[in-house]
């Protein structure tokens, strides 16, 4: 048995070649036990498992087999939560290799937040046994101290200083911060280690990266924002598990010598796989096109490294790939249907600015676009025009009939106590809502009028035309 403070032994081997004075002192103490002067109290455990704290774990990019894989850890480094994490002494890191990467990725609903159920172990009995051993050892020494008188013990320790304990038995126990999570049994463990969190060099932006005019200085190095190296790994998919106290985070690391370039349209996806180093085509790569809920379609790249997949494109989709060498890669795609293929309505008022109590005239025209070059008149149907004031409250509703060729029009009057600000017009037409706006302000009309009189009744483009401009006020005109 080995403790934290003492090297315990099952017996003490004492030499009996004592001097006559020491032997006499021992014989006197054995005749009658004296009272010990030492304090019999022993320290309590004062132990609590380290709580740890929240942190973020992520991989900034994928890696090739010749690059050093690494993950980024972000921990709070400027407030009280740092002190809760410093007690743990670092971060425990485990690296697993996933045997079936494609099946693992298909089970994840969100590739930005990897979910793997932990194997919670707890703090264990190591620190409990440490304190029990130290406590029992201290009590046994107290019993031995009561057996001999204080003077006898002093004489013995003067003759044999190695038997003097001092304050060793009242020192607090030294505890070890144990990992509270056991290794995952489903995945082969590649390596595990404890990395210094606060002693490591924080992440720094690349040289020359400056943000002129920024006052927050958010790109300055912060303690706890570090990179954790994982070494060079063979092509494949790896799971990284990081633990600090009772807190745990996971992420995945993609290692592959292949990169996938994709182009997505409304009903088709084109994928081209090429080597990262030389750009050569990578045939025979398995490709899965998924929306996060299930695999929409799949295929294998041809001799040119390309693959065309046919399916209706969702707004967000993922490409999961595995090359012939076992490398795993991923690509995220976004597709938004263009508004040019929808019905477009134009809502405008007779003036952009009104006063309280004014009448507002609204005109609506529209077209239904089939492609960028072809359109048709809208479908004639009734619509409802809602007016919302500057506070977002519904002011009134006007029924408007939209005609396929002439559009529609309506009018309403603002109340005398209408609040100033921006007003919104919402037109409900065929289960769609269209919006426009105007403003209300308590302005004063100008005290002058401007009149423009043209010399000719008609004018042509790019032809100079003479005109008289007359500006009149209440006092005079010129």
Q: Evaluate if residue 117 carries a pLDDT over 70.
A: yes
63-77, 211-225, 421-435, 463-477: least confidently modelled range? 211-225
Residue 43: its pLDDT value, please?
65
Contact 467, 455 (CB under 8 A): yes
Residue 105: its pLDDT value, please?
92
Question: Distance (Å, rounded) from C-alpha 89 to C-alpha 197?
Answer: 8
H helices of 44-120, in order, are 80-86, 101-107
Q: Evaluate if residue 172 carries a pLDDT over 80.
A: no
Which tokens hold the place of 57?
Answer: 């774990």
Q: Evaluate if residue 18 carries a pLDDT over 50.
A: no
According to CATH, the superfamily of the domain at 340-440 is Macroglobulin (MG2) domain (2.60.40.1930)
User: What does the mean pLDDT of the chain come to?
Assistant: 81
Q: What's the CATH fold of domain 256-334?
A: Immunoglobulin-like (2.60.40)
Which tokens hold the place of 264?
Answer: 């997505």
Contact 432, 416 (CB under 8 A): no
What residues does each domain of the chain span?
A: 1-32+125-176, 56-123+178-203+220-254, 256-334, 340-440
- For residue range 261-283, what is the model confidence (pLDDT) as tens digits? 999 888 899 999 999 988 899 89
171-175, 229-233, 249-253, 383-387: least confidently modelled range? 171-175
- For residue range 189-248, what is the model confidence (pLDDT) as tens digits? 999 998 988 788 887 777 766 666 555 555 677 777 889 999 999 999 999 999 888 889
Q: Evaluate if residue 477 carries a pLDDT over 50.
A: no
Tell me the CATH number of domain 56-123+178-203+220-254, given options 2.40.170, 3.40.1350, 3.30.70, 2.60.40. 2.60.40
- For residue range 324-359, what is the model confidence (pLDDT) as tens digits? 999 999 998 888 876 667 888 999 999 989 999 999
With bands split at pLDDT 50, 70 and 90, how would you rate the model's confidence at 469? confident
| DSSP category for residue 62 | -
Residues with Cβ within 8 Å of residue 63, at least 6 apart in sequence: 69, 70, 233, 253, 254, 255
- Would you call 414 exposed, middle or buried from its count of C-beta atoms within 10 A (0-12, 13-18, 19+)? buried
Q: At what angle do helices 20-31 and 150-159 cross, to 10 degrees?
A: 160
- pTM greater than 0.95 (yes/no): no
Q: Judge whether 56-123+178-203+220-254 and 256-334 match in fold.
A: yes
As a whole-number percent, the residues of the chain with pLDDT over 90 amount to: 40
């Amino acid at each position: 048995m080995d403790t934290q403070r003492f090297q315990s032994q099952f017996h003490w081997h004492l030499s009996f070649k004592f001097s006559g004075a020491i032997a006499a002192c021992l014989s006197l103490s054995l005749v009658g036990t004296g009272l010990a002067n030492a304090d019999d109290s022993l320290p309590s455990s004062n132990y609590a498992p380290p709580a740890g704290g929240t942190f973020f774990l992520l991989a900034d990019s994928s890696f090739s087999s010749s690059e050093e894989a690494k993950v980024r850890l972000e921990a709070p480094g400027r407030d009280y939560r740092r002190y809760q994490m410093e007690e743990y002494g670092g971060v425990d890191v485990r690296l697993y290799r996933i045997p079936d990467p494609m099946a693992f990725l298909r089970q994840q609903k969100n590739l930005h937040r990897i979910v793997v159920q932990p194997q919670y172990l707890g703090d264990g009995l190591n620190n409990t046994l440490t304190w029990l051993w130290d406590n029992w050892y201290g009590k046994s020494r107290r019993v031995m101290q009561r057996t001999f008188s204080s003077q006898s013990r002093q004489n013995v320790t003067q003759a044999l200083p190695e038997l003097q304990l001092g304050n060793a038995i009242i020192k607090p126990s030294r505890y070890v911060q144990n990992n509270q999570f056991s290794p995952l049994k489903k995945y082969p463990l590649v390596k595990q280690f404890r990395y210094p969190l606060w002693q490591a060099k924080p992440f720094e932006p690349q040289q020359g990266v400056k943000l002129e005019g920024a006052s927050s200085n958010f790109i300055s190095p912060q303690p706890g924002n570090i990179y954790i190296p994982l070494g060079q790994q063979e092509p494949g998919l790896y799971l990284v598990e990081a633990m600090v106290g009772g807190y745990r985070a996971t992420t995945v690391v993609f290692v592959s010598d292949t990169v996938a370039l994709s182009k997505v349209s409304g009903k088709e996806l084109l994928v081209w796989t090429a080597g990262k180093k030389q750009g050569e085509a990578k045939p025979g790569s398995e490709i899965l096109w998924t929306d996060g809920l299930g695999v929409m379609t799949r295929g294998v790249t041809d001799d040119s490294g390309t693959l065309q997949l046919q399916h209706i494109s969702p707004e967000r989709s993922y490409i999961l790939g595995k090359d012939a060498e076992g490398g795993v890669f991923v690509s995220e795609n976004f597709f938004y249907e263009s508004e040019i293929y929808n019905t477009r309505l134009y809502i405008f008022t007779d003036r952009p600015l009104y006063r309280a109590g004014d009448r507002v005239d609204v005109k609506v025209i529209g077209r239904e676009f089939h492609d960028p070059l072809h359109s048709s008149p809208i479908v004639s149907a009734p619509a409802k025009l809602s007016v919302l004031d500057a506070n977002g409250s519904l002011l009134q509703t006007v029924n408007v009939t939209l005609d396929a060729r002439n559009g529609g029009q309506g009018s309403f009057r603002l109340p005398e106590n209408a609040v100033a600000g921006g007003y919104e017009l919402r037109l409900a037409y065929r289960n769609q809502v269209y919006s426009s706006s105007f403003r209300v302000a308590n302005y004063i009309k100008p005290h002058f009028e401007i009149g423009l009189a043209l010399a000719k009744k008609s004018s042509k483009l790019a032809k100079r035309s003479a005109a008289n401009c007359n500006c009149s006020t209440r006092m005079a005109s010129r």
